[in-house]
Amino acid sequence: MAIIDDPSAYFQTTLYTGNGGTLAVTNGGNSDLQPDWLWLKKRNASVNHFLFDSVRGASKELNSNNTEAEASPSNYLSSFNSDGFTIGSDSDINGSSDTHVAWQWKAGTSFTNDASATGIGSIDSSGSVNTDAGFSICSFTGTGGNGTVKHGLSTVPKMIIFKNRPQAEGWIVYHQAISNTHFLTLNTTGVAVDNATMFNDTSPTSSVFSVGSNHGTNGPSHAMIAYCFADVKGYSKFGSYVGNGNADGTFIYTGFKPAFVIAKESSEARDWQLWDNKRLGYNASGGNKNLIPNKTDAEDTYADIDILSNGFKLRNLSAAANKVSQTYIYMAFAENPFVTSTGVPATARWLCSYLLT
């Protein structure tokens, strides 16, 4: 894949203030972005995280912080627009004068796979994909047995997030850093668990991912959704790091200036951590604003990370992100590549950045 010079064409974080009525939220990046996956969170109060996508349809929401089945509440999301989205009057996503954040990813190209006709996978699938950005939304009906599903990408996914739509099942996370034998759960603090029924102990390929008999990834006759991500140079990275328990913490090289980072300790029960480049406080003495995908909590302030031109650096002794000798998985998306395809370097938030040696 070529370097993405303008990540805002594929991912954006947008802040908005609720009006308690109907609100059209417009993005502000260099490029227009019609979102296909939309993740909303009220910043100043304890409410659910709300996740929508264009494959399931704008009216259908899920919550990363719980196991609840998909719902279609009124006055939530009404449409995905050419450069943003429109929401209704519900106070959880559009409370009057409340502060909110929207994380948005673009897929955009529809795909359908009849597995018996194409010979790709064993379970039919459909969805929306952007091969340039290494992102797909994959819908399929579970079988309750071992199988393979076409994901739509042309490269191997490094991270996949699964949700059983009609059942109260956890959000199952595959991440290449913890191997195909283990899984994490987005809605809990749980450690990586060894379970062959999730991914059939089989890694994804450039055409399919594998599922086992577990209802979390392959419920029998259940509508399933999977969000699939591949590394793209200068735009996205899915890796791991080891904490050092020091305020002068671990530096994680991504090859771009991050706009969005999620991290989770894989070997001890810790909350997931989420940071972005739009909420005030990052790279500052007052700490940066984090949110917790597995909890309803309002945003809090921790001096956790610095956002640099080529990665991010931990700045806290907190076990949630930087416990000595513990391994953390992460997903990160770019504001700018470290160096564009034309050789233009990104600018750091601070004057210094860190290079791998």
Name, in order, each residue with C-beta under 8 angstroms of 327's C-beta and a sequence gap of 6 or more. 177, 240, 241, 242, 243, 265, 266, 267
Q: What pLDDT was estimated at residue 213? A: 98
Instruction: Report pTM.
Output: 0.94
Question: What is the spatial order of strands in the sheet that 49-53 belongs to?
Answer: 11-17, 99-105, 37-42, 49-53
* Under 8 Å between Cβ of 302 and 318: yes
Task: Specify the DSSP element, H or E, that contains 288.
Answer: strand 288-290
Tokens of 180: 């195909």
Identify the three-state secondary structure at position 51: strand
Distances (CA, A) of 82 to 64, 134, 262: 25, 21, 27
List the pLDDT tens digit at each of the 357 positions of the chain.
Answer: 567 989 999 999 999 999 999 999 999 878 899 999 999 999 999 999 999 999 999 999 999 999 999 999 999 999 999 999 999 999 999 999 999 999 999 999 999 999 999 999 999 999 999 999 999 999 999 999 999 999 999 999 999 999 999 999 999 999 999 999 999 999 999 999 999 999 999 999 999 999 999 999 999 999 999 999 999 999 999 999 999 998 888 999 999 999 999 999 999 999 999 999 898 645 555 456 889 999 999 998 665 788 899 999 988 777 889 999 999 999 999 998 854 554 555 554 443 333 433
Q: How far apart are CA 96 and CA 173, in angstroms?
A: 34
Tokens 């771009």 sit on residue: 256
* Under 8 Å between Cβ of 63 and 47: no
Adjacent-strand bridge partners of 164: 224
* Under 8 Å between Cβ of 10 and 257: no
